[in-house]
Amino acid sequence: MNTTDWIGFTGVALLLLAFLLNLRNILAQNSLSYLLLNTIGAGLACLASVLLAYWPFIILEGCWTLVSLVGVGRYVYKQFHY
């Protein structure tokens, strides 16, 4: 496996870990851990897709990263404004 493969593998593993932990009721969808796993995982998967120049997954993972970042932003906002 090359560096791009490892980056993509790590990103996908983090996304799947977040999904599994949520399904097992270990992490809530609105927890910071869940949001960060999704943000970092999608970001890494997007980076790997950019390195491969594979546009369908650049779009998918880029959107996933942005949506997850919005969730992190909302979480932080609530922590400081309540």
* Residue 22: predicted pLDDT: 98
Q: What is the pLDDT of residue 5?
A: 97
Q: Is the pLDDT of residue 82 over 80?
A: no
The predicted structure's pLDDT at residue 81: 87
Terminal Cα-to-Cα distance of the chain (whole angstroms) = 47
Is the CB of residue 11 less than 8 Å from the CB of residue 39?
no
Write out pLDDT tens, residues 26-76.
999 999 999 999 999 999 999 999 999 999 999 999 999 999 999 999 999
pLDDT at 61 (0 to 100): 98
Q: Following DSSP, what letter does each residue of 57-78 receive, concatenated?
A: HHHHHHHHHHHHHHHHHHHHHH
